Amino acid sequence: MNWQAMALTAELASLASLILMLVGIPLALWLAYSRRSWKFLAESVVALPIVLPPTVMGFYLLFAFGSDSEFGRWYQHITGSTLAFTFKGLVIASVLYSLPFAINPMVAGFRSVDQKLVAAARTLGASKFKVYSQVVLPLAWPSVVTGLVLSFAHSVGEFGVVLMVGGNISGTTRTLSIDIYDQVEALNYHSANLTALTLLVFSSLLLCIVYGLNQKLLVWGSR
Partner 1 sequence: MFVARVIFLCLALLLTGSASAQELKIAAASDLNGPMQKVAATFTKQTGVQLKFSFGSSGNFFAEIRNGAPFDVFLSADRSYPETLDQSGKTDDAPATYALGKLVLWVSNRVPGNLSSKNLDFLNSAGVHKIAIANPDHAPYGRAAVAAMVHFKVYDQVKSKLVMGENISQTAQFAQSGNAEVALIALSLALTDSMKKSGRYVIVPTESYPPLYQAAVVLRSSQYKQQAHRFVEFLRSPAGQKIMLEYGFEAPTVARAR
Task: Tell me which residues touch partner 1 (CB under 8 A).
Answer: 62-63, 65-69, 72, 81-82, 84-85, 163-164, 167-169, 182, 184-187
- Nearer of residues 115 and 170 to partner 1, judged by Cβ: 170
Rounded CA-CA distance 130/17 in Å is 24
CB of 155 to partner 1, least distance (A): 21
What sign results for the dihedral spanned by CA atoms 135, 140, 142, 145?
Answer: negative
CB of 58 to partner 1, least distance (A): 11
Q: What is the CA radius of gyration of the chain?
A: 20
- Nearer of residues 157 and 160 to partner 1, judged by Cβ: 160
In angstroms, what CA-CA distances link 47 with 43, 51, 81, 88, 92?
Answer: 6, 7, 31, 23, 17
CB of 174 to partner 1, least distance (A): 9
Asked whether the beta carbons of 223 and 30 are under 8 A apart, the reply is: no
Residue 86: other Cβ atoms inside 10 A? 19
- Nearer of residues 39 and 88 to partner 1, judged by Cβ: 88
Q: Burial-class residue 190 by CB neighbours within 10 Å (0-12, 13-18, 19+).
A: exposed
- Nearer of residues 133 and 188 to partner 1, judged by Cβ: 188
CB of 179 to partner 1, least distance (A): 11
CB of 62 to partner 1, least distance (A): 5
- Nearer of residues 171 and 212 to partner 1, judged by Cβ: 171
